[in-house]
Structures are given as structure tokens and as C-alpha cells.
Amino acid sequence: MGVVNVTPDSFSDGGKWFGPDEAIAHGLELAASGADIVDVGGESTRPGALRISEDEELRRVGPVVAALAQAGVIVSIDTMRVRVAEQAIGTGARLVNDVSGGLADPAMAGLIAAAQVPYVVMHWRGQSVDMQDKAVYADVVKEVTAELSQRVRALTDAGIDPAQLIVDPGLGFAKLPAHSWTLLARLRELSCLDHPAAPFPVLVGASRKGFIARLLGTGQDTPRPFAECDDATVALTAYAAMAGAWCVRVHSVPGNADAVRIAARLGEERQP
């Protein structure tokens, strides 16, 4: 999954694809370089970010989703808002990626049940403005799987077919770097939720996140620049794919697409 952030202020690429023409061209380039899905988002979720209005979000993503879908790209809409998801599905988006897992907009579950599209349920504890205050865990794997299990149960109770659901640990969202590393190291446990339909497919969004930049920086307060974290993202993609992830969400596609193909080929050899 390649990312198009139609925002002025995202974690790593804010402002680069803010105009619709740039965003559409970037989405086409991601697809041409091997992305199976292009994820279009209009609202930054970096720590501390404030929300934008629904109209502004619709204005940002509308033309980009429509043009990419029209060009035959499989588009995912990255939104917490039901109206944005609904309009995107109406213009050709085939998947909804909701970082709040349905918590931010109570109407989202009804739309997803009716539209019958795949739905990414990310682990989330609240809006970005103060989410890092909620990065408090006694056992991060246990708590994230318990909270994701609750979400999955609420969503299936609301009429969503469990086969539509993809789960995501939400690396960097109400997580300190140590939490994200623990979740990655124990990735296989995250699909085994407390739900009769488990295991669920897992999506991993590690690309260019702060926990990688901090690990590879030259000191505690000098993280490596995001644009120089792509080789490390490829290393994590190879690991995640070998650990059974269904999808990785990345900003730069070619190296990650190679890593996924290599992991898939190695996986074939491991079959009995």
C-alpha cells in the first residue's frame, strides 16, 4: 500500500503532494512502481495535529480519489469520517482505512456494513492532539489486542462481516517508541484476537515513523531525517512480510515491493 498524503503537515511528506495534480501524479507513480493499493488521506494524524473541517477534508481528497479510481488504481480512503468515506466509495474507493477503528465517527460502522468494503481497524486511543498522553501500558501487546478485540466485536455486532476486517496495531499512535518496537517484535500475536473469526489479516504502518528515525539518529534529540529512513522501512517490510503481515503501508514503494516479493517467494519454500 503506497501513501498519498494530501496534507500540508503529515509525519514525513506533508506538503509534497498537497495540490490535486501533484497528488494524482504521485498516486499513479506509486501504482506504477508496484503498489497494489494507493491510500489517500486528507487529514494529518501526526502527534499534536489538530483536526481539519470535514469540508476541507472532502475538498482535499475528493478529486484525487476519483481520478486515481478512474485510472484503474485500487484506492483506499484514509479517513475517520463517514461522509468522507461514503463520498470516496461513491467515486470508486475500494477500501476504507480508519485510524480510529470506528471510534471517531459512530456512523462509520453502518456505512461499512452496508457498503461491504474491506475496512482497516487501527488501534487508537484518541485524537492526535493529545494521543501521546495516552501512551501508558502495563503490557502493550495484551492491551492492544484486548482493545482491538473490543473494536472488532463492536463492528461485527453492528453488522460488518468479519471477512471485511483488517487489523492494525497503530504504530506511533498513543505509543512510545518502545511500545511500537514491542508490537512489531510480537506481530504474529496481533492477528489472534478474542473473536470467533480470528485470525484477522494485519496491516503494518511503520514507514518513516518517529520510532525508526529515533533509533537510527545520532542522539536522543537528533532523529534521522524521515527521507533517510526508507532503507530501514524496507528492512521492516521484509520482517513484517515474513512475520505474516497482509499489507504494509509505505511512502516509497519500489524497495518495499521487492521485499514483499522476496518474503512471498521464501514463504513458498516453507510450505510442506
Active site residues: 209, 249
Q: Among all residues, whose Cβ is closest to ligand PMM?
A: 205
Q: Is 6 in the site for ligand PMM (CB under 6 A)?
A: no
Would you give the end-to-end CA distance of the chain in angstroms?
29
Query: How many CB atoms lie under 10 A from the CB of residue 55?
Result: 9
Which three cell numbers mark 233? 522501512
Q: Letter for the amino acid at 142? A: K
Which three cell numbers mark 117? 468494503
Q: Which of 2, 4, 10, 23 binds ligand PMM (CB under 6 A)?
A: 10
Calculate ∠ Cα 192-193-197, nearest 5°.
Answer: 90
Q: CB neighbours of 264 closer than 8 A, spacing ≥ 6?
A: 241
Which three cell numbers mark 212? 525508526
What residues numbered 96-115 form the site for ligand PMM, per CB under 6 A? 97, 99
Q: Is 57 in the site for ligand PMM (CB under 6 A)?
A: no
What residues numbered 208-237 form the site for ligand PMM, per CB under 6 A? 208
Q: How many residues bind ligand PMM (CB under 6 A)?
A: 19
- Check residue 251 and report its DSSP letter: S
Query: How many CB atoms lie under 10 A from the CB of residue 130?
Result: 12
Q: Is 125 in the site for ligand PMM (CB under 6 A)?
A: no
Q: Is 117 in the site for ligand PMM (CB under 6 A)?
A: no
Q: Is 43 in the site for ligand PMM (CB under 6 A)?
A: no
Rounded-to-integer distance, Cα 211 and Cα 175, Å = 9
Binding string, residues 79-98; x marks residues near ligand PMM by CB under 6 A:
------------------x-
What residues numbered 137-196 form the site for ligand PMM, per CB under 6 A? 168, 170-171
Footprint on this chain of ligand PMM (rule: CB under 6 A): 3, 5, 10-12, 45-46, 78, 97, 99, 120, 122, 168, 170-171, 203, 205, 208, 249
